[in-house]
Amino acid sequence: MTRNKLFIFILIGTLSTFLCSPVLAQNAKGGGSSGVQAKEKQPVAKPATESQGGAQANRGGGNGNQEGNNSNRRRRGRSRSAEPDRDRRPTQNQPAGSGLGEFAMSIDENSRMLVLHPEDQSDRSDLNVTIGSEFTTNVTLHNRDMAPMDQLRILISYEPDFLEPVSINDSPISDHLRGNPVAEVDPLLGIVLYEAELAEPLAINDAPLLKVRWKAKQITFGTRLDFGNREDLFTTVNSGGVDLLGQSDTPGDGTLNMNVTILPQDPKEAEAMLSDPRIYDSPGGKIGGARIFMRPENKRIVVGEPFTIDLMLDNRAMSMLDGLSVLIEFDPEVISILDEDWDNWITREKNILDGPFREDFPWDFHIANTVYSTRGYITYRVGTGDGELTRGKLAPFAQIHAVAKKPTAGTAFVFKFSKRPRSHATEATFIGHDVLGAPDIFGDGTKGVIITVHPNMDDRRANAK
């Protein structure tokens, strides 16, 4: 072996070691035993295969004797059934877009590797799917020198919170199998295990050995499918008892894994997730990206003539939101707020208008709506028990009616913030978490307004007369 080839194999083995799933190891520790325990657990998926030499999932039994596992598996009989819809293409599944960053695999032509990749996309290691959809991954052997194999074990680890195995399809090699292969799923540890012996040594290159179909369960920016190699059980392709993958004396090397992003079904929400992945705080619930801003009436503002300012909520970022509070500061020497409460829930004292806007925002809780004319403040607070109420909406939630007392080159309406608990300053929240702008930045996600007040020419003319 040349020095360059040896360096490549060492590098690949190192990459494979670091790509192994930490979730698998943690779950194994939590389970209190070593090895894959699928034979002692009821699998959530019943992997189905081709009628020609497929592998049927083991649904129970097993004596737990680790030393006798391999022989016991091969003695057990397996019935075979056709995989339902095995040729069906998932129409919504696509490669990861530019918002996530694309990653195309480049494999050393002279190495032997086992690669996890999306079906019909052998050069990719990432995939975007929508929640609730199904997709297929291939396990492909890169074997340019056509080394023959006679035995294989494929161990795939996954995160059960996000993915569920639907079926295992070994039809690409089913005609070459000796006896009945073994396919097992452990839904607690998140493991798919497939083992088989070949009737005669088989040499293939860039061809799938196995196809696994999955269902996407929860939204997530990224969940990995790994060849979940462990010290006592690892992925291997053998020839005469010698591992063909990577370096023969390094168990579990010579593998490449893949990443799956599970997007919302709503195209707008999916686009928002791809454009700003930082603000996805937890599976299934986006936190952040909402905005509050002021939109003044499109007119020339003059002294003594009423004008309006819309308070706008922009949640096209599709954030969860269950509470909204604004504290607005204005100059009472220049501006006088008019009392407008038609169809309002709160009509005590002086208010800003929100009655006409309940169709877009039917809040469950109306907590505060008060104008403090002398101090120059407006407080407004509402809430809802439905965190999805505002998602995807851009509309006014309230309206300020005001009149200017005197001309000025610029007077400001400003959203005020406070870090003091229960200060009831400006905020938009979901279960207490900030959803305005970037969640980790205090005081962002709002925009006030500065208006110019012009003199009233009629008043000037009257004074001149």
Q: Is the pLDDT of residue 114 over 50?
A: yes
Clarify whether residues 205 and 329 are in a common domain.
no
Q: How high is the pLDDT of residue 73?
A: 34
Counting the structural domains of the chain, the total is 2
Q: Let me know if residue 2 belongs to a domain.
A: no
Specify the pLDDT at position 463: 59
What CATH number does the domain containing 277 carry?
Answer: 2.60.40.680
Percent of the chain with pLDDT over 90: 48
Say if residue 84's pLDDT is above 90. Answer: no
CA distances from 173 to 15, 201, 225, 240, 289 (A): 28, 12, 22, 18, 49
Q: Which domain holds residue 132?
A: 14-61+74-263
Same domain, 41 and 184: yes
Between the two ends of the chain, the Cα-to-Cα distance in Å is 106
Reported as a pLDDT band with limits 50, 70 and 90, residue 128 is: very high
In a domain, 223, yes or no: yes
Regarding whether 243 and 276 lie in a shared domain, the answer is no
Indicate whether 5 belongs to any domain: no
Q: Do 372 and 410 fall into the same domain?
A: yes
Helical (H) or strand (E) element with 117? strand 112-118
Confidence label for 280 from pLDDT (cuts 50, 70 and 90): low
Classify residue 391: in a domain, yes or no.
Answer: yes
Asked whether residue 338 falls in the same domain as residue 212, the answer is no
Domain assignment of residue 136, yes or no = yes
pLDDT above 70 covers what percent of the chain?
71
Boundary-marking domain end, from 244, 263, 282: 263
Calpha distance 262→221 (Å, rounded): 6
Which range among 7-11, 171-175, 437-441, 459-463 has the greatest average pLDDT?
171-175
Specify if 202 maps to a domain: yes
Instruction: From residue 349, give the alpha-carbon distance in Å to each of 12, 338, 339, 344, 403.
Output: 72, 11, 8, 12, 18
Residue 451 is encoded by which pair of tokens? 């208006």
Neighbours of 37 (CB within 10 A): 19
Strands 427-430, 433-434: pairing is antiparallel
Name residue, tokens 């053998």: 238
> Picking from 13-22, 131-140, 357-366, 433-442, which range would have the lowest pLDDT averaged per residue?
13-22
- pLDDT, tens digit (0-9, with 9 covering 90-100), for 197-252: 999 999 988 889 999 999 999 888 788 998 876 666 788 888 888 888 877 666 66
Instruction: Looking at the structure, tell me whether residues 40 and 123 fall in a common domain.
Output: yes
The mean pLDDT of the chain is: 77
Measure the CA–CA gap between 246 and 243, rounded to whole angstroms. Answer: 8
> Do residue 229 and residue 285 come from a single domain?
no
449 in a domain, yes or no?
yes
What confidence score (pLDDT) does residue 277 get?
A: 61
Q: How confident is the model at residue 94 (pLDDT cuts 50, 70, 90)?
A: very low
183 & 286 share domain: no
| Domain stops at, among 263, 280, 303 | 263
pLDDT in tens, 420-443: 877 789 999 998 889 999 888 889
Please check whether residues 356 and 236 belong to one and the same domain: no
User: Does residue 380 surpass a pLDDT of 50?
Assistant: yes
Of 222 and 24, which is predicted with more confidence? 222
Residue that finishes a domain, picked among 242, 263, 284? 263
Q: pLDDT tens across 288-339, in order?
A: 889 999 999 999 999 999 999 999 999 988 888 999 999 999 999 999 999 9
- Residue 145, classified by CB atoms within 10 Å of its CB into exposed (0-12), middle (13-18) or buried (19+), is exposed
| Order of all β-strands in the sheet with 207-216 | 163-169, 207-216, 134-143, 112-118, 255-256
Please check whether residue 401 lies inside any domain of the structure. yes
Q: Are residues 90 and 118 in the same domain?
A: yes
Do residue 53 and residue 28 come from a single domain?
Answer: yes
Instruction: Pick the range with the lowest mean pLDDT from 55-59, 330-334, 397-401.
Output: 55-59
CB-CB neighbours of 242 under 10 Å: 11
For residue 221, what is the enclosing H or E element?
Answer: strand 220-225
**195 in the same domain as 50:** yes
Q: How far apart are CA 245 and CA 237, in angstroms?
A: 6
